[in-house]
Amino acid sequence: MKERIAILQAQFLFRSLSLPEDTLLYLLMPHIQYTRGHQWYRLSKTALWRLMPLTIADLDARGFRAIKKNFLHSNLEKQIQGKNSKLLSSCRPTITLDPILWLPMTHEERSRCLRWRLGWLPGGAPKPCPRHPNNNLSRRHAISCLNTHRRLCMPETIADPISFLLNMLPTRAFVPSSIALSWTWRWPVICSILHELDQLQHYTTIPCKAPHGQKLIEWMRQFN
């Protein structure tokens, strides 16, 4: 939210510099830009606006977007390197829309992927694993309990194979045939593992309405 506030403030300042000459704010600009007590002056001291070039009058919309993107990327890197960034460090290290939000999948599959990302699956509060009552159902235990590495054919050196593969999902509406082919068998396994984990978390049997990953597989087949 702090980043969003900083961006909105910078956009206000940027647009105020290109107003028509007959507007009141344009006429007041020579005064409010350098008056310490004015809100415009205060906003010009924010972190994002300080990244703007000194010759701000020459800055166009493309240049503004580039500086904004660098600002977001820099903040993301700082957050990933923070002490409490375990979940964030498992996500994509880039500023982009996660394909989980738009790739074809059922509501349940999308929900489980998002909950895994957010750490809500298998849940934040420690509780015993139904299969291994002496162990809490944590993310680490779930990965081991459900034989995730073996089922996904991933090396043990990758601590979180589910997040690793979610980061490999295509980010564009075109997928090379070789990549599409690999997802036709990996994606149903991921959906199956998350479905089993959902059942372990809620101590109940959750019926599967359709074959795991069917919607995404059908979408991928157009590229084979």
Residue 215 and residue 105 share a domain? yes
Tell whether the model's pLDDT for residue 45 goes beyond 80.
yes
Same domain membership, residue 52 and residue 144 = no
Parent domain of 171: 99-223
Same domain flag for 45 and 131: no
Identify whether 112 is part of a domain: yes
Same domain, 106 and 183: yes
Is 102's pLDDT higher than 90?
A: yes
pLDDT above 80: residue 119 = yes
Average pLDDT over residues 101-105: 96
- pLDDT greater at residue 5 or residue 78: 5
Pair (123, 215) in one structural domain: yes
Choice between 175 and 94, residue whose per-residue pLDDT is larger: 175
Q: Are residues 43 and 108 in the same domain?
A: no
The chain-wide mean pLDDT, for the chain, equals 90
Q: Which two tokens stand for residue 215?
A: 């919607």
Q: Is the pTM of this model over 0.85?
A: no
Domains: count for the chain: 2
What confidence category does residue 77 fall into, taking pLDDT thresholds of 50, 70 and 90?
confident
CA atoms 73, 75, 78, 80: torsion sign: negative
**pLDDT at res. 111:** 96
Q: How confident is the model at residue 9 (pLDDT cuts 50, 70, 90)?
A: very high
Claim to verify: residue 55 and residue 151 sit in the same structural domain: no
Pair 54, 107 in one domain: no
Residue 57 clears pLDDT 80, i.e. is over it = no
Percent with pLDDT over 90 in the chain = 61
Do the Cβ atoms of 121 and 199 come closer than 8 Å? no
CB burial string 135-159: b at 16+ within 10 A, e below: ebbbbebbbebbebbeebebeeeee
For CA atoms 63, 69, 73, 74, give the dihedral sign: positive
Helix (H/G/I), strand (E/B), else coil: 136: strand
Q: Does any domain span residue 93? A: no
Is the distance from CB of 103 to CB of 219 less than 8 angstroms?
Answer: yes
168, 210: one domain: yes
Encode pLDDT of 126-176 as tens digits: 899 999 999 999 999 999 999 999 999 999 999 999 999 999 999 998 999
